[in-house]
Structure 1
Amino acid sequence: MRKEYLKLQKIDGPLIVLSGIEDAAYGETVNIKIDNEEIRKGKIIKIEGDKVIVQVFEGTTGISTDNTSIKFMGEALTIPLSKEMMGRTFNGVGEPIDKAYQVISTNRQNINGRPINPVARRYPRNFIQTGISSIDALMTLIRGQKLPIFSGNGMAHNELAAQIVKQAKIKGATKDNFAVVFGAMGVRHDDADYFRRSFESAGVLDHVVMYINTADDPIIERISTPRCALTAAEYLAFEQNMHVLVILTDMTSYAEALREISSAKEEVPSRKGYPGYLYSDLSTIYERAGMLKSSEGSITLIPILTMPNDDITHPIPDLTGFITEGQIVLNRELNQNGIYPPIDILPSLSRLMKDGIGADYTREDHADLQSQLFASYSKVQDIRSLSQIIGEDDLTDVEKLYMIFGRELENKFIAQEKNENRSINETLDLGWYVLSILPKTELDRIESEIVEKYYVSNRER
């Protein structure tokens, strides 16, 4: 028999504290009735003996210790799952906010899903063409991969994510078995509207499931938003055998919500005030992406996070880099110079790309070209530093060619239009065109027969 508790012990920000509680479970949902009229939802986030701490999704405004009754529901937060979710918009706890009906389904799943068992995983190999040269050639996205975008405030990460969604081509995916799940945490209303308009203009809105928590929504809701999104993605991928691309933005807002709740619970803080379990908490989100041996579907995850003060050593990008399989780093200097997408290729990488490129997937020269472009652009940075000391006129002829190569790589290869969709062959040919500014003697990371086949001579240029 479910008991109803009629008196609170304490209210602390978004949390309420009750004592004398029996048979409560961590993560259990509760119904909170205020003045016998309004009902709000909450979740148990801490149990100490007979004392229970509950986070209130809609906030504690209007709640007092005497006007509220609490009923424990005996289950964790669940959401209904059906293909009717596609084309719909929900809030951070899975309730519709698009003025339409709630999804009706007998299949309800706990949003606190578990990471995929490594033994059950299928190794990611298939190349995803994004149409963006710097990503496809240098930090290739693989189906089932977790590849975050490290950005900063005011940079073009939203535009980049929307372009990837519009242009992504997954081998074996058709319009009927491809879906996008978009989870937004603490975003501005205009950012949420931008993504909605982008999906609509690309004609993919009817294949997008959106979970949106805006900046003025309850901060507690942000903790559930990515878990609702991934629960929906798991259903579509592993029960409906669909290829699902998940975009989560902004993971920094999520981590800051976690820090605020941890502080309210009076937990001992770790680096920069974040809770000590930030790493394990992020891993429970990121590790839900991938592919199963028992299913044809896949979940490819692109989390977006804005680095505070553009600091890549900040705990959020630092821990994210440990869990995920690479990163795409955006550069503020490139952004200020009007280069889109402003991808800083040297600190960016994809740890899985080596198994998804080459003659069987992209082209025989891909791996060598990628290695040479990285090495040559790295040398450009050294020569630029030298030119600031001695002047560009005093550089050697080869060093001057490297300076030209660097400018061409940034302005012709990295830079492209927001609606420009380059095939992988166009990208690799463009890479060779830029690389051929350098003499063949400088191409020391490419097999000689590949150089002879793809090098662009001055006459051809």
Structure 2
Amino acid sequence: MTAGPRVEYTGIRELRGPLVVVTGVRGVGWDEFARIRLATGEVRHGLVLEADRDLAVVEVLEGTAGMDTAGTQVEFTGEPLRIPVGPGWLGRVCNGRGDPVDGGPPVFGARLAEVSGAPINPVHREPPAEPVLTGLSAVDALTTLVRGQKLPVFSPPGLPHLELATQIAAQATAVGEPFSVVFAGMGLTHGDVAHVRDSLARRSAAGELVLLVNTADEPVIERILTPRLALTIAEELAFDAGRHVLVVLSDMTSYAEALREISAARGEIPGRRAYPGYLYSDLAAIYERCGRIRGRAGSVTVLPVLTMPGGDITHPVPDLTGYITEGQVVLSRERSGYPPVDPLSSLSRLMRAGAGPDRTRADHLPVAAQLVAALARARQVRELSDLIGATALSRTDRAYLEFEEAFRRDLVAQRPDESRSFDDTLDRAWRVLLHLPVRELTMLPRELVDLHRAG
């Protein structure tokens, strides 16, 4: 954080939730960084949310608890919030404001970058291509993550979405190319933080991880900053250092609720379910910072993880996220075991850009198409079986039920600490498909079917 021209104001009109209303200001602009000095000498930090004539509304990143309108001074630096960026972040654990919590020194970098950032200029965008392999068969086989893609995970409350996010962060790879992970946790419990740190300890020790954690008992205003901080760090690692960077954001519903709380404190007119009317553009400003830039080696891939309140996929947060992103991985209570991914509700719209010959395997796309088609047929057979009984089914229909069981048991089911190679995943997929009669495998080349049957 850099210092600007020293201008201090003591005209604190009001403390409103996480906001400070300052009067008598001059030359203060939106998104300007501020330092707030309490009467006790404690220094806090803030960002200008609104500036109108001689009035400024400042959001306090550490919250306003313990503050008083008397004796508080606000210094506006004349510039937006900036942080040092560079490889010094790798291997570090920081809070949601970027302050170290691992006992190490402050993070230093060769240059400073604005945290607010900006989406990649469409003129300079390179289409996403090449896979990010997660080591999870349910994702790699059917909803392949592509470098530069934004692919959210939708989860009803109570399902292991955080475990899934940390497993992907621990196992993901760019297939032999320089790779890093930036994990931003928002609204986590202390137990969640311990789980994340333990699960990602090996990647952190290898200097491949940046971990930012905002806990549930910390000021909600910090959650507004955390994903932007993560993406600012990731952009330098990707577009300056040439790394492929996966940014995991969990939980974006906690972020949206913090945004709603700040909106209410500002007295804004609420939109759907009391979320601010600009929720869509705010989420887009975060998600659209991922991608690839023409002429540069690295990429930023974003995996937002969000809970659906009440399991409602039409809730504003998943609904708007779905409009902005390129698919979704959906967790379901109806899926037993781990991970509880619903393959027929999940989709990666950019999968064809990152899968197939010279990327994953030549047989990947036809195998994935055949799996989805067979799962859809198996679901119909399951519903028919519930009506007329399994004994009344044809031999082919019973084969589809056997396929469905094998799919869950042998392909999707996976331990939280188990990382599978892509060849292992596709070999398992072939063994599962061969539970069906050959005449049912209409999406697969006959020579490949014969080869795998013989093997």
TM-score, normalising length: structure 2: 0.94
Give the corresponding residue for 1:34. 38
Q: Which stretch of structure 1 is more off in the superposition, 68-77 or 386-395?
A: 386-395
TM-superposition CA deviations, 1:84-133 (whole Å, max 9, x none): 22111222222222222112345111100101112212222212222221
Q: Is the 8 A contact 2:87 2:109 kept in 1?
A: no
Give how far 1:267 is off.
1.0
Instruction: Return the letter of the residue paired with 2:182.
Output: V
Give how far 1:42 is off.
1.2
Give how far 1:221 is off.
0.6
Give the corresponding residue for 1:393. 391
Provide the alpha-carbon RMSD of the alignment: 1.8
2:291 counterpart of 1:287: no
SS of the equivalent of 1:55 reads: strand
Q: Which stretch of structure 1 is more off in the superposition, 84-93 or 223-232?
A: 84-93
Could you list the runs of 5+ residues in structure 1 that have no partner in the other structure?
none
Cα distance between partner residues in 2 of 1:222 and 1:298: 24
Q: Which stretch of structure 1 is more off in the superposition, 437-446 or 107-116?
A: 437-446
TM-score, normalising length: structure 1: 0.93
SS of the equivalent of 1:54 reads: strand
Give the corresponding residue for 1:445. 443
Cα distance between partner residues in 2 of 1:75 and 1:93: 17
From 59, 84, 88, the counterpart of 1:80: 84
Instruction: Return the letter of the residue paired with 2:441.
Output: L
2:209 counterpart of 1:211: no
Cα distance between partner residues in 2 of 1:87 and 1:199: 10
From 101, 106, 112, the counterpart of 1:97: 101
Could you list the runs of 5+ residues in structure 2 that have no partner in the other structure?
none
Q: Is the 8 A contact 2:88 2:109 kept in 1?
A: no
Change (3 A) 1:308 1:245: same
Give the corresponding residue for 1:194. 195
From 109, 118, 121, the counterpart of 1:117: 121
TM-superposition CA deviations, 1:341-361 (whole Å, max 9, x none): 111101111111112222222
Identity fraction in percent: 47
Cα distance between partner residues in 2 of 1:129 and 1:188: 29
TM-superposition CA deviations, 1:255-288 (whole Å, max 9, x none): 1000110111111111111111111111111111
Cα distance between partner residues in 1 of 2:378 and 2:273: 35
2:295 counterpart of 1:297: no
Cα distance between partner residues in 2 of 1:319 and 1:227: 18
SS of the equivalent of 1:333 reads: coil
From 50, 62, 66, the counterpart of 2:66: 62
From 415, 418, 422, the counterpart of 2:416: 418
Give how far 1:181 is off.
1.0
Give the corresponding residue for 2:53. 49
Instruction: Return the letter of the residue paired with 1:405.
Output: F
Q: Is the 8 A contact 1:223 1:254 kept in 2?
A: yes
1:55-454 matches, within 5 Å, as 55-173=59-177, 177-201=178-202, 204=205, 206-334=207-335, 337=336, 339-454=337-452
Cα distance between partner residues in 2 of 1:205 and 1:259: 38
Give how far 1:79 is off.
1.0
Cα distance between partner residues in 2 of 1:404 and 1:272: 44
Give the corresponding residue for 1:8. 12
Q: Is the 8 A contact 1:126 1:171 kept in 2?
A: no
